[in-house]
Structure 1
Amino acid sequence: MTKKKIGILGASGYTGADAVRLLARHPNAEITALTANTHAGKTMSEVFPHFFMLDLPKLVEWEKVDWTRLDAVFCGLPHGTTQEIIAAVLKANPGIKILDMSADFRLRNKDSYAQWYGHEHRALELQDEAVYGLTELYREKVAAARLVACPGCYPTAVLLALVPLAKAKMIDVDDIVIDAKSGVTGAGRGLKQNTLFSEAGEGLSPYSIGSHRHSAEIEQEIGAAAGSAVTVNFTPHLIPMARGEFCTSYVKLNGATPDDLRAELEKAYADEPFVYVTKKGVLPQTQNVRGSNYVQIGVVADRIKNRAIVLSTLDNLVKGSAGQAIQNMNLMFGLPETTGLEQIALFP
């Protein structure tokens, strides 16, 4: 197969950089355009020195890219800036494949988007066409899509752990408590006081308590699986490590046992290349998936009767962002889903 010509919008951010890292060794991809308006004119290695060995195009302003020459574009821009740019890209090249790693097309309900993101959606004609890109749940739709809205890192970890259980009616979807922790890269590369080393190091900080925007995605997809509206208790925390994510979900059982939950998850992911359910007594750990596209899920009996604890972990920049986007790109181009994504976790 001829290599697909790939562009990356927002290549100077962490998700854009990880897309570069993975695509640079993808056998069917050729990176031909990189944008970063604030760093336009620089080489990628000037912005990210660890790319010193790669022959990459210089960073340019997005308006200067000839989108008609590309087969696919990955978007790593912040929410709110993505909609109009993607609309312009699709107008220039209606046949291009879009892998959006921002939040701009994840919510199906336009009113929900306005509620959670503080402004009306600016590309409603595209919102209806966007496919929610949680690969394991929407594989066939992703394969046929032009625009894929790749999920957030928290929703990916939580939904892979809970959607099969909600669909099987094994848990009470009205009683879900999620304690989530993410590495500092989840906050982006922009300068913020709370992500400075001396502020984030040697501490653990909750944020957006009761109001984190990823709650909307989690509720949307668990609700779809359960067939009813759902509200979850979701609290994220910033943990002092660069990458990685761990979600602990506390659930009430509907006549099932923790072993039943584990068996259901094992059945759901038996043929999945990247999702692994740990054996009884084996606990998922962030270090087991760091730098990889893999997900670990475990189930533990709670000491409280009729409750269980479901654990899930992934790398927020890989399966939680760029890796999942590449997994979806592979599907969209009819490539083996695992192409370019079989890196083993970096340990220690």
Structure 2
Amino acid sequence: MVKIGIIGATGYVGAELLRLLLSHPKVEVAALSSVSFVGQEISNVYKNFLNKTDLICESADEVVKKCDVIFTALPHGLSEDIAKKAIDNKKICIDMGADFRLSSEDEYEEWYGKKFTQPALHSKSVYGLPELNKEKIKQCSLIANPGCFPTTIELGLMPLLKNSLIKLDNIICDSKSGTTGAGRGLTINTHFPEENETFAPYKVGAHRHTPEIEETLSTMANDKVNVTFTPHLLPINRGILSTIYCSPKNKVNLEEIHKLYLDFYKDEPFVNILPLGEIASIKNVRLTNDCFISLHLNHRQDQIIVVSTIDNMIKGAAGQAIQNMNIILGFNETDGLNLIAPAF
């Protein structure tokens, strides 16, 4: 059994990783780390693990020492040095944070306020969107797991961009997320009385996922892509839905676009293209590693509308990380991820 370690195990993403990995048929979770809960059993922090695991939170160095694959579920700026130790010791590192998502140090500093601490390491990392970079992921030991908002948008647009069907300077991404996307730490925006029975955008025009979205979409298009990205906070725990508006270069036929998407994703186990006339919904991806996509035209038939939805904690974080691990280790891509959404 491959030994797995999670650094940052008591955050929401770390806990979701542990929940999924405990049921994975080919790995053993061997060590956990948490700065806030060193020496405590994980079941003292999350009671859902009571009698499921007796793992105790320890130091990050111990996790690196004991494990073959290390997941770093940490805020930005904290993963690079840990990744360096892992790679130096011939381990696999899958970073759930933002430290390796951007190729430009200048952009990273502009959006995250920090410089790279291990600049040489960035040339060794691969952006871990499996549907885009599967062959590169197979050969890599350092993965930058994508952000949750970017995952919905990138999967929603990839067939159009790869086939050069839309204009690149007028893409609008209107996204909504459950509150788990903000992490476990309490903020005023996620405090129950502030979030319940309301709905509003946040970080309008200045969200940190913007450069990641633009860089990845530009890679897909082989040209510079600019987006207007506006995230919103929904009064639900989990799920993301992105409604994406884009202008076609020529007159479009929705049936042809639909067939293009079906063909493009036919070998991807987690991307589901809905029949025309149906609309993607958070309900149908909740607690799964699936992405559901529906395709639409506006009433003038001069704008393509793509609706893309995922569970932000699974396909947007922990599940996609496990998918990347499966690819690297040569497992079936769906191992540990054969999850079905609740019917209600």
TM-score (norm 2): 0.97
SS in 1 for 2:279: coil
Is 1:229 the counterpart of 2:224? The answer is yes
1:43-192 mapped onto 2 (5 Å cutoff): 43-63=41-61, 65=62, 67-91=64-88, 93=89, 95-192=90-187
Letter in 1 for 2:310: L
Residue of 255, 268, 292 corresponding to 1:296: 292
1:272-291 mapped onto 2 (5 Å cutoff): 272-291=268-287
The 1:66/1:45 distance shift into structure 2, 3 A limit, reads closer
Separation in 1, partners of 2:6, 2:86 = 12
Separation in 2, partners of 1:176, 1:261 = 17
SS in 2 for 1:297: strand
CA contact (8 A) 2:33 2:63 kept: no
1:322 CA displacement: 0.4
Separation in 1, partners of 2:140, 2:17 = 20
Separation in 1, partners of 2:193, 2:49 = 27
1:67 CA displacement: 2.3
Which residue of 2 is the match for residue 16 of structure 1? 14
1:66 CA displacement: 5.3
1:208 CA displacement: 1.1
Which residue of 2 is the match for residue 314 of structure 1? 310
Is 1:25 the counterpart of 2:23? The answer is yes
Encode CA deviations 1:117-165: one digit per residue, 9 max, x unaligned. 1121111111111100001110011111010001000111100010210
1:89 CA displacement: 3.1
Encode CA deviations 1:77-112: one digit per residue, 9 max, x unaligned. 001111122223333x1x111111101001112222
CA contact (8 A) 1:290 1:347 kept: no
SS in 2 for 1:174: coil
SS in 2 for 1:230: coil
Is 1:346 the counterpart of 2:342? The answer is yes
Residue of 212, 218, 227 corresponding to 1:217: 212
**Once the two structures are aligned, what percentage of the paired residues are identical?**
41
Residue of 322, 325, 331 corresponding to 1:326: 322
Letter in 2 for 1:281: G
TM-score (norm 1): 0.96
Letter in 2 for 1:98: C
Letter in 2 for 1:122: T
CA contact (8 A) 2:294 2:307 kept: yes
Separation in 1, partners of 2:82, 2:35 = 13
Q: Where do 4+ consecutive residues of structure 1 move more than 2 Å?
A: 66-69, 88-91, 256-261
The number of aligned residues is: 343
CA contact (8 A) 2:30 2:66 kept: no
Letter in 1 for 2:3: K
| Higher mean C-alpha displacement, 315-324 vs 214-223 | 214-223
1:225 CA displacement: 1.6
